[in-house]
């Protein structure tokens, strides 16, 4: 399909997921800091940026804030890479956010799972069909938590021109292989697992080589080095970074609900590039875990120095 071919390169590499900076004094958006954050990430060469998604605290944003974030990102990035926006919630709410993204100039939308309600595959397909009906933007369904599809349901979605890829954060590789088979391998599959680098090899075997990297938002040199090693098949470098940084980071993430996002902002703060606090119901990282994270980042960068990256 034409849209898929057009976006093939931007959905085939390292995908960046910026945080949403909030001012510490009043909790409002910090757009100047957001532009700085985008500039920092762009230096690492992501193939696309996904704004106001999970790492960007989409569930905590109003439609007006969402529009400002996407508008700012589109203006700042200025065509260097595609900008995808997050959208989610119930169908009517998701439609509002998709409209916000389209008006702000986004290149596409990642549709996050509906909240609380768990529908059957037919309900999920209907959810996407209603969204497709109101926008011309390319769409990426995101499988996790309350949105788990059957291969047949994904094949039905893949027949829609605007569905250009499928992101998986569910972690069932047997199901993912079934989806790949049902879609004839023609739908781009994205690894969307938390700390996706730890799943990179397994997902690549199932046909999903591109992945979303939260680490790119706070330790771009480490994220870039790992992806480059992954892309060239350098297992030795991957194993060093997994041992020294990624696996311990995953263990730290597992200690506290919400750390998949909070650790990213803490990682920026401990390096002097604060993006402010997270919004409730998330909570900022404890001082003890912040110190552990700082040590991990040092270990990760020391590993880079060890093999000349």
142 is catalytic: yes
**CA distance linking residue 22 with residue 126, whole number of Å:** 35
Residues 294, 288: contact at Cβ < 8 Å?
no
Catalytic residue selected from 128, 142, 203, 259: 142
Give the closest residue to 43 by CA, choosing from 219, 207, 307, 255: 219
Longest dimension (CA), the chain: 52
265 is catalytic: no
**Structure-token match 């960007």, residue found:** 56
DSSP string for 142-167: EEBTTB---HHHHHHHHTSTTB-EEE
Helix 151-158 with 121-132: angle, nearest 10 deg: 10
Catalytic residue selected from 167, 211, 246, 259: 167
3-class DSSP state for residue 139? strand
| Residue 212: strand pairing partners | 15
Active site residues: 142, 167
């Amino acid at each position: 399909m034409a849209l898929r071919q057009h976006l093939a390169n931007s959905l085939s590499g390292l995908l960046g997921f910026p945080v949403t900076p909030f001012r510490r004094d009043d909790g409002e958006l910090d757009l100047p800091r957001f532009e700085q954050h985008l500039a920092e990430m762009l230096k690492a060469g992501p193939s696309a940026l996904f704004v106001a998604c999970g790492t960007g605290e989409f569930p905590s944003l109003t439609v007006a804030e969402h529009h400002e974030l996407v508008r700012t990102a589109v203006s700042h990035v200025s065509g260097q890479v595609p900008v995808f926006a997050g959208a989610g919630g119930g169908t009517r709410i998701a439609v509002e956010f998709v409209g916000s993204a389209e008006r702000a100039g986004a290149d596409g939308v990642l549709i996050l799972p509906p909240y609380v309600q768990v529908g059957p595959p037919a309900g999920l397909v209907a959810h996407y069909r209603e969204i497709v009906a109101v926008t011309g933007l390319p769409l990426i369904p995101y499988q996790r938590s309350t949105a788990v599809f059957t291969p047949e349901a994904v094949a039905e979605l893949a027949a829609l021109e605007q569905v250009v890829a499928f992101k998986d954060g569910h972690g069932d590789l047997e199901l993912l292989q079934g989806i790949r088979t049902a879609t004839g391998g023609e739908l781009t599959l994205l690894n969307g697992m938390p700390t996706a680098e730890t799943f990179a090899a397994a997902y690549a075997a199932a046909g999903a080589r591109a992945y979303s990297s939260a680490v790119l938002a706070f330790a771009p040199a480490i994220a870039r080095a790992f992806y480059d090693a992954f892309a060239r098949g350098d297992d030795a470098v991957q194993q060093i970074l997994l041992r020294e940084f990624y696996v311990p980071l995953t263990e730290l993430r597992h200690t506290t609900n919400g750390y998949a996002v909070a650790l990213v902002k803490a990682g920026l703060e401990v390096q002097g590039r604060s993006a402010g606090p997270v919004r409730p119901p998330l909570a900022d990282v404890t001082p003890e875990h912040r110190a552990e994270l700082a040590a991990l980042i040092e270990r990760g960068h020391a590993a880079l120095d060890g093999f000349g990256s």
